[in-house]
Structure 1
Amino acid sequence: MHKLASAVLFGCSLFSAGMALAQTAPPASPAPSHVGRHASTPEDIRAIEKVVADFQAALIAKDVKLLSSLMLHTNILFASPADDGFIKKMRDTTDVHFDGVAVGGYIAFANFIKREPLRTEEKFYNVKITQDRHVAWVNFDYEFLVDNKLSNYGVEAWQMVKRDGAWKILSVVWSMHAAAEAGK
């Protein structure tokens, strides 16, 4: 009986300690009414969706002029940042200042699209557009195909800005997994 009483007392102590911890945490305050409220219009969302569709069409058609027209300018951030292991390797062997963002950006990508003799395509899944006034974000899962074969995949995020009445891509950043990693 003594063991049973000790076990019950121990259980009650644990429960009381848990309740005390739960009570010391400040309660989550409700978000102000303006949080999550964005100034967005159906017309702007449609215009952003058109940029997304034009981007995909430009890759298939190898139309780098159309692709360029979608960018704010050619020096936007356009990169798949390297992981820490690759950064260390580059710093140890090549460039002590390497930060994981390769040079070339959009121009290198456009040149690749233009020069690649095989069909290129980027498929987007789970596209989410968030717009607030003249700024927008487009996030999605992607697959990049060359000659209708998976080359790489990951998550991609665009920042967009509305300039002179037109939506332009301000930055493109993506994660990248080799095709060999698919299905693992």
Structure 2
Amino acid sequence: MMCFIFEVKKKYLFILFSFITFFQTFSQEKAVKKVVEDFFDAFHVKDTLQLRKMAHDKIVLSTIVSNENKSKMKLENYDDFLNTIVSIPDTVVFLEKIVNYEIKIDTHLAHVWTPYEFYVNGKLSHKGVNSFTLVKEENSWKIVHIIDTMKK
């Protein structure tokens, strides 16, 4: 009888531990996804103060531009990126539509893969994939690297 009770307790502890682990993982994924969603919300309204707050002070930006079987990677300074965002005329409406989110987390490191379509004044300009790397410092997720592909 004692063996049976022990097995039942062990089973419930396993279920409880599995539930807690799932909830923690889901909660972390939700927090990471929110940072990326907030990034695009701020991007679309050209809120460079918010964009700065989400970024780690050592953030790296990279773009891979592909044309006819050739590709070239270019690095961009984050401050230059923010200045470019501010300089977009109000008559230009842009939207980066995220198609999907794939999120991977290991403790204080997260990776978010987001295929996208980029529209300018309602017209498709290009497509690609964003790859965000985030780090958790002091209970806050910060973007440390963004690399994207750009295909016409």
Q: TM-score, normalised by structure 1?
A: 0.61
Between the aligned partners of 1:55 and 1:82, the Cα distance in structure 2 is 22
Unaligned runs of 5+ in 2: 1-23
Matched, 1:105 2:88: no
Matched, 1:66 2:44: no
Which residue identity lines up with residue 129 of structure 1 in the other structure? I
Q: Which has the larger radius of gyration?
A: 1
Q: Please list, as runs of the form range in 1=range in 2, the aligned pairs for 1:12-27 lying within 5 A after superposition.
A: none
Which residue identity lines up with residue 60 of structure 2 in the other structure? L
Between the aligned partners of 2:53 and 2:126, the Cα distance in structure 1 is 25
Unaligned runs of 5+ in 1: 1-39, 88-99, 179-184
Q: Which has the higher contact order (CA 8 A, sep 6+)?
A: 2
Q: 1:119 to 1:52 in 2, by over 3 A?
A: same
Q: What residue in structure 2 maps to residue 181 of structure 1?
A: none
C-alpha root-mean-square deviation of aligned residues, in Å?
A: 2.3
Q: TM-score, normalised by structure 2?
A: 0.73
Give the aligned length.
127
Between the aligned partners of 1:172 and 1:156, the Cα distance in structure 2 is 7
Please say if residues 65 and 151 of structure 2, whose CA atoms lie closer than 8 Å, have aligned partners that are also in contact. no
More strand by share: 2
Please say if residues 63 and 150 of structure 2, whose CA atoms lie closer than 8 Å, have aligned partners that are also in contact. yes
Q: What residue in structure 2 maps to residue 154 of structure 1?
A: 128
Tell me the percent identity: 32
